[in-house]
């Protein structure tokens, strides 16, 4: 998962900076999808992890206890590539299996739970061994892209059943469509927005951010201004003050270090959004003006304006890389999964605000999504499709998202999910969450590109240099070289495909 990878990389960078050791190459991501594909066209005004939620503590492979042989067709749901491996989640999944099995005469389901660290190898082995699980998920857009060639095109099933996609938010149902092949339908969405600490704003004497998506004065320039005013040293001086002490920062104004460079770029609405290539996937374009503007904004946030921590400062203040929960960060850009993991019983009041409008006047809220897919080589795929439809029925969609802390992908669940979140987080303006999917990024910042792992590795190294002291921080220089490196990867890929 991208957030786990980013945090581990960031922790490693911080440790290396502190100990003055050299920076090793970033490990390559997992296997590429071998099919060149096309994502949906970019939405007009607006369409991020993500994403899927980060994995939790690893446990041995677990399977829901199988009922006695009944003559039913068995459908296995493979869990482990994203969320769903927490003990409480497994209990809820077991209950869901019992619910399905008690109400269906011809199909029975089981959840096969595999720890995140071994889930990819396990799934690949099952596919290679002719025992592919029928349903795979929840998994994010990035993981779906990595397994693209192993997934069934759901388009014929959708067309055969005249399956209604209009209840899904915006283009969420087509996030995983490549060359007309839809390989995954969304269970839950993780839209991007800004968490803010009301006490941090009060201490700085700054008004809270707007919650109104129609307020176009909330721009990237305004975010920068507010972030500098809410960055305070131990003497209470903010980052705009001539007396501001860089060596004793007590509170930073903003952090977005758990997002990828593709997610960073998406907020500036490049021509191909977070996809680092042209629409035909043959030309690298990461040194275009929007990519450069986006990454330079973050570089300046760290090294010029000093409202965002560098790698060493972040890990020195909190080894877990999470300043917001400790009250030392005014604003934190993240998604709904963060609410489930970190926001219980905080010692300060907080709320949420939309992401800003960029310099084009466009608001982009990069989105992560968890989807269900069907393995292309699995047996009983018709039955698997029935199970996918059942899992995505509004009632079941809602129950799953309660345990996965995702926003249900179905609009018809909004009122019920609003009630659920209100009970958990009274006083929070939840309209910010429910309005965010209107502005999702298409193509998605986790979508497939040729030789996925190598391309993302190049971009991760760019981001790591921006975070790290004594490295190149000029985005144009970094992205010019990244364009050369990615173009070599693309040329090699297409020479063999």
Set out the domains of the chain in order of their start, with CATH numbers: 192-353 (3.40.190.10)
* Residue 39 token pair: 């994502």
Strand segments, DSSP code E, in 156-228 are 177-178, 181-182, 185-197
Rounded to 5 degrees, φ, ψ at 388 are -60, -45
Of 411 and 63, the one with more pLDDT: 411
pLDDT tops 90 at residue 472? yes
Alpha-carbon gap, residue 430 to 475, rounded angstroms: 35
H helices of 61-197, in order, are 87-101, 116-128, 141-146, 155-160
CA angle at residue 317 from 458 to 194, to 5 degrees?
65
pLDDT tops 60 at residue 173? yes
Residue with the two structure tokens 């007590």? 250
* Residue 354 token pair: 């939309």
pLDDT tops 80 at residue 53? no
pLDDT tops 80 at residue 63? no
The percentage of the chain sitting over the pLDDT mark of 70, rounded to a whole number, equals 86
pLDDT tops 90 at residue 291? yes
pLDDT tops 90 at residue 57? no
Per the omega criterion (within 30 degrees of 0), is the bond before 140 cis? no
In 3-state terms, what secondary structure has residue 393?
coil
pLDDT tops 50 at residue 68? no
pLDDT tops 60 at residue 43? no
The length of the chain in residues reads: 497
Alpha-carbon gap, residue 337 to 318, rounded angstroms: 20
Angle, helices 289-303 vs 220-229, to 10°: value is 10
* pLDDT at position 339: 87
pLDDT band at 345 (very low <50, low <70, confident <90, very high): confident
Which region holds residue 237: left if phi is over 0, alpha if psi is between -120 and 50, else beta? beta
**pTM of the entire structure?**
0.84
| 216-246 per-residue burial string, b: 16 or more CB within 10 A, e: under 16 | eebbbeebbbbbbbbbbbeeebbbeeeebee
Alpha-carbon gap, residue 186 to 408, rounded angstroms: 9
What pLDDT digit, counting tens, does each position of 200-246 carry? 999 999 999 999 999 999 999 999 999 999 999 999 999 999 999 99
pLDDT tops 90 at residue 52? no
Please count the other Cβ atoms lying within 10 Å of the Cβ belonging to residue 384: 27
Alpha-carbon gap, residue 493 to 495, rounded angstroms: 5
Give the pLDDT mean for 178-195: 94
In 3-state terms, what secondary structure has residue 114?
coil
Residues 6+ apart with CB under 8 A from 273: 42, 47, 265, 266, 364, 441, 442, 443, 444, 445
431, 300, 436, 263: which is closest to 363 by C-alpha? 436
* pLDDT at position 341: 62
124, 167, 163: which is closest to 143 by C-alpha? 124
Alpha-carbon gap, residue 289 to 271, rounded angstroms: 10
pLDDT band at 69 (very low <50, low <70, confident <90, very high): low
* pLDDT at position 131: 97
pLDDT tops 90 at residue 56? no
106 in Cβ contact with 74 (< 8 Å): no
463 in Cβ contact with 261 (< 8 Å): yes
* pLDDT at position 11: 44
* pLDDT at position 32: 37
Please count the other Cβ atoms lying within 10 Å of the Cβ belonging to residue 151: 25
HEC profile for 326-364?
HCCEEEEEEECHHHHHHCCCCCCCEEEECCCECCCCCEC
Alpha-carbon gap, residue 395 to 416, rounded angstroms: 9
Give the pLDDT mean for 300-314: 96
């Amino acid at each position: 998962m991208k957030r786990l990878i980013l945090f581990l990389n960031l922790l490693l960078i911080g440790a290396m900076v502190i100990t003055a050791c050299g920076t090793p190459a970033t490990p390559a991501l997992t296997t590429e999808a071998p099919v060149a594909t096309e994502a949906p066209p970019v939405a007009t005004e607006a369409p991020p992890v993500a994403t899927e939620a980060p994995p939790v503590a690893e446990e041995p492979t677990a399977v829901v206890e199988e009922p006695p042989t009944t003559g039913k067709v068995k459908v296995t749901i493979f869990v482990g590539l994203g969320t769903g491996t927490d003990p409480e989640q497994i209990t809820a999944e077991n209950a869901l299996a019992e619910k399905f099995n008690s109400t269906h005469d011809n199909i029975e389901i089981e959840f096969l739970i595999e720890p995140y660290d071994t889930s990819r190898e396990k799934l690949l082995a099952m596919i290679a061994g002719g025992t592919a699980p029928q349903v795979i998920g929840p998994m994010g857009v990035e993981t779906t892209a990595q397994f693209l060639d192993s997934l069934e095109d759901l388009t014929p099933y959708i067309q055969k059943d005249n399956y209604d996609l209009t209840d899904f938010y915006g283009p969420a149902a087509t996030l995983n469509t490549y060359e007309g092949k839809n390989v995954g339908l969304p269970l839950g969405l993780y839209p991007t927005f800004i968490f803010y600490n009301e006490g941090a704003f009060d201490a700085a004497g700054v008004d809270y951010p707007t919650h109104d998506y129609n307020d176009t004065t909330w721009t990237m320039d305004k975010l920068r201004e507010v972030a500098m005013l809410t960055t305070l040293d131990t003497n209470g001086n903010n980052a705009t003050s001539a007396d501001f002490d860089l060596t004793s920062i007590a509170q930073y104004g903003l952090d977005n270090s758990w997002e990828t460079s593709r997610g960073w770029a998406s907020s500036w609405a490049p021509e191909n959004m977070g996809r680092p290539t042209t629409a035909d996937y043959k030309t690298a374009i990461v040194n275009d003006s929007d990519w450069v503007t986006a990454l330079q904004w973050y570089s300046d946030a760290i090294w010029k304006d000093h409202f965002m921590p560098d790698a060493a400062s972040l890990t020195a203040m909190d080894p877990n890389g999470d300043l917001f929960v400790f009250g030392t960060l005014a604003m934190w850009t993240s998604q709904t999964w963060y609410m489930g993991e970190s926001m219980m019983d905080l010692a300060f009041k907080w709320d949420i605000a939309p992401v800003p409008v960029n310099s084009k006047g466009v608001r982009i809220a990069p989105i992560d999504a968890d989807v269900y897919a069907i393995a292309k080589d699995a047996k009983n795929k018709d039955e698997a499709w029935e199970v996918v439809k059942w899992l995505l029925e509004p009632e079941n969609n809602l129950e799953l998202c309660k345990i996965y802390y995702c926003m249900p992908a179905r609009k018809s669940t909004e009122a019920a999910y609003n009630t659920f979140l209100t009970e958990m987080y009274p006083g929070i303006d939840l309209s910010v969450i429910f309005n965010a999917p209107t502005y999702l990024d298409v193509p998605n910042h986790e979508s497939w590109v040729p030789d996925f792992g190598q391309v993302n590795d190049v971009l991760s190294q760019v981001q790591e240099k921006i975070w790290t002291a004594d490295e190149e921080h000029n985005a144009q220089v970094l992205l010019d070289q990244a364009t050369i490196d990615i173009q070599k990867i693309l040329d090699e890929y297409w020479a063999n495909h």
